Amino acid sequence: MSGTGDDFDGAWLFAQECQFVAGADRATAIPPLGLTEVAFAGRSNVGKSSLLNALTGRNHLARVSHTPGRTQQLNFFNLGNKIWLVDLPGHGYAEVSKAQRKSFSAVTQSYIRNRSTLRRVLLLVDSRHGYKESDEQLMDLMDSFGLSYQIVMTKADKAKLPEVEAMKQKIAAKVSKRPACHPEIIVTSAHDGIGIGELRDSLAEIAKGQ
């Protein structure tokens, strides 16, 4: 599909160049407002970096580490001058120091509270385990501000299909009463490519302002 104006789809959008804009480890380092933004949030071992790399088709856009908690700042990426993708610091990992957890929380909260160009937060949840208390705390914060967020299940290749579907239904029932939660849950696997096209198309619609 053509990329002229607003006439583009997910395949076209994610074939465009994706450039690092800035990293911010404190509120004052967050870059000035630019394009529409979508942020990726989740626990430190949920697979955010792998999903970002799978979406953009780039192996090293976001650093993948076997050490949870490696991403210690907000990372901003410009995708085709259509949308900014924002990789938020992972939360809920016990081995990150208390001082670091407080710092991550502060910069994340400042970003969520004050970013007028932020259209949606994708909250990544492991398909095998569902969401945890730290995820619920973030959902509470976003509900309180009326900030749209959407559950994206990751690592679907690591569980059997009936188990993934059962977890999806369980999560859907639990979040159905949350006012700011987008009703559609997208199931993905960065390893097998499950749901990648669907998520790309969803982000393209956001980039077009729909």
Over range 191-209, report the average pLDDT.
Answer: 96
- Tell me: the pLDDT tens digits for 141-165? 999 999 999 999 999 999 999 999 9
- Selected residue with higher pLDDT from 64 and 197: 197
- Tell me: the pLDDT tens digits for 5-49? 678 999 999 999 999 999 998 899 999 999 999 999 999 889 998
Residue 95 has pLDDT above 70, yes or no: no
Q: In degrees rounded to 5, what are phi and psi of residue 7? A: -95, 80
Could you tell me the two tokens for 138?
């973030």
Residue 132 has pLDDT above 70, yes or no: yes
- The answer to whether the CB of 35 falls within 8 A of the CB of 21 is no
Distance CA 26, CA 8 (A): 34
Over range 122-137, report the average pLDDT.
Answer: 94
Q: pTM of the entire structure? A: 0.89
CA-closest candidate to residue 131, choices 151, 115, 114: 151
- Selected residue with higher pLDDT from 45 and 69: 45
Task: Look over the chain and give the mean of its residue pLDDT values, rounded to a whole number.
Answer: 88
Given CATH 3.40.50.720, say whether it is the number of domain 10-207.
Answer: no
Residue 197 has pLDDT above 50, yes or no: yes
- Residue 166 is which amino acid? A
Q: What is the dihedral of CA 98, 100, 106, 107, to 10 degrees?
A: -170
CB-count exposure of residue 197 (10 Å: 0-12, 13-18, 19+): middle
Residue 181 has pLDDT above 50, yes or no: yes
Residue 92 has pLDDT above 70, yes or no: no
CA-closest candidate to residue 147, choices 186, 107, 179, 185: 179
pLDDT the model gives residue 90: 86
Distance CA 94, CA 126 (A): 17
High-pLDDT (> 90) share of the chain, %: 71
Alpha helices by DSSP H, listed for 38-188, are 48-56, 98-114, 133-145, 161-175
Give the lowest-confidence range in 49-63, 81-95, 99-113, 145-159: 99-113
